[in-house]
Amino acid sequence: MRRKVARILLITIPLLALFLLPPGSFATVDISPLCEKHGIKGEDLTRLKGLYGEVVESGVSEEELYRFFDDIISYGLDCRQLSRVLEKTLRLKKEGLPYRPVFRKVREGMAKGVPPGKVVDVTLTWGKLLEEAAGVVRALEEKGFSVSDREGAVILVAGYLSRGYLPDEIVERVVTRGVKYAGFSGLEAFLGQGGQR
C-alpha cells in the first residue's frame, strides 16, 4: 500500500509541479549539478533555477544560455551575481532588446581578468545603457529616421551614452544636424536620414 502511494506520488508530484512551479522548471537541461558543484544549493538553487527557466522561456536559446551559464559560474560568479545577470538578460529579452551584448560584456570582463563582482556591475550598467540607447533609437525612428540595423544602432548609441552624452542630447543633435553631421561617427551606417528635414 505504502509503495503504491509512493509510486503515485512519484508520478503526480512532478506533474503537479509542472503546472504549479514557475515557468523556470521548463528548462530541459538541469543546472542543479552544475550549481551544486559550485556550492549553490537549497533555496538559492531553487530561485536560480526558476530564473534560468524563465530566461529559456523568454526565448533565449537553451544551448546558448547553458554554455554561458556554465562559463560564468565557473569563472566564480556567486548566486546573487548570477541572478543579477539572468535578471538583466530576461528583462532585455522581454523588452525586445538585444541581450547578447550583455553576454558579451560579461565575457569581455572575464577575458580581461576582471573580478566577478566588477564584471557584474559593469555589465548591468552596460545593460542599462543599452535600454536607454534603445529609447534613443526609438525616438529617432519616431522622428522619421530609418534604422537599417537596430542592434548595431543601439550598441553604437550605448557607446555614446557611456562617453557621457545624454539621451535627449543625442536625439536633438541628430535631428537638428542630421545623422552625418551630428558628430557621432559611424551612426550613419546604421541610421538613415528619414523623411524629416
Partner 1 sequence: MRRKCTRYEGLMERYLTGEILPDERDDLEKHLSLCPDCSRVYRDISGVECALRTFPGKMVDPPPYLKTRILASIEGERKSLWAFLTRTVTAFAAILAIFLIMAVYGYLTRPSSPPSPPVAGEKAETGTKEVKIFFYFPDARTVSITGDFTNWDPKGLPMKKTGKKGLWEIDLKVKPGVYSYNFIIDGRLLVPDPQAPEQTPDGFGGMNSILLVPKGDVS
**Number of residues near partner 1 (by CB under 8 A):** 31
At residue 165, the 3 state secondary structure works out as coil
Q: Of 72, 74, 37, 38, whose CA–CA distance to 55 is shortest? A: 72
User: In the range 71-130, which residues lie near partner 1 by CB under 8 A?
Assistant: 101, 103-105, 107-112, 114, 118-119, 122, 125-126
Give me the sign of the Cα torsion angle 100, 104, 105, 107.
Answer: positive
Closest separation in Å from C-beta 134 to partner 1: 14
Would you count residue 162 as binding partner 1 (CB under 8 A)?
yes
Q: Assign residue 98 a region: left if phi > 0, alpha if psi is -120 to 50, beta otherwise?
A: beta
DSSP state of 25: G
Closest separation in Å from C-beta 25 to partner 1: 28
Closest separation in Å from C-beta 147 to partner 1: 11
Task: Figure out which of the listed residues 80, 189, 196, 197 binds partner 1, where binding follows CB under 8 A.
Answer: 189
Closer to partner 1 at the Cβ: 22 or 135?
135
| Residue 56 burial (C-beta neighbours within 10 Å; 0-12, 13-18, 19+) | buried
Q: Which residues bind partner 1 (CB under 8 A)?
A: 101, 103-105, 107-112, 114, 118-119, 122, 125-126, 148-149, 151-152, 155-156, 159, 162-163, 185-186, 188-190, 192
